[in-house]
Amino acid sequence: MEGTHPAIISREVFDRAQKEMAARYGVEVKNGRAEPAGYLYHGGDYEKPDYHFRRPQWTEEQRRRHAEMFTEREKAVRPLCHDLSLFIKCEVCGQNLTGQPRKFADGTRELRWVCFKHNKKAHAAGKARPPAMQDKVLKKMVAEVLDMEEFDAGAMCGRLSHISAYGDMLTFHFHDGHTETRKYIPGKRGYRRKEGKPCREEG
- Residue ranges of alpha helices (H) inside 72-134 are 73-76
The four Cα atoms 78, 83, 85, 90 give a dihedral, to 10 degrees, of 170
**pLDDT value of residue 122:** 63
Dump pLDDT digits (tens) for 148-188.
999 998 899 899 999 999 989 999 999 999 999 999 998 87
Contact of 92 with 127, CB cutoff 8 Å: yes
Residue 79 has pLDDT above 70, yes or no: no
**pLDDT value of residue 184:** 93
Choose between 66 and 115: higher pLDDT: 115
Contact of 84 with 133, CB cutoff 8 Å: no
The segment with the largest mean pLDDT, out of 64-68, 106-110, 126-130, 158-162, is 158-162
Q: What is the mean pLDDT of the chain?
A: 77
Region 56-68 average pLDDT: 71
CA distance 50 to 34: 18
Q: Which of 105, 82, 75 is nearest to 153 (CA)?
A: 82
Region 176-203 average pLDDT: 69
Domains of the chain, residue spans? 78-183
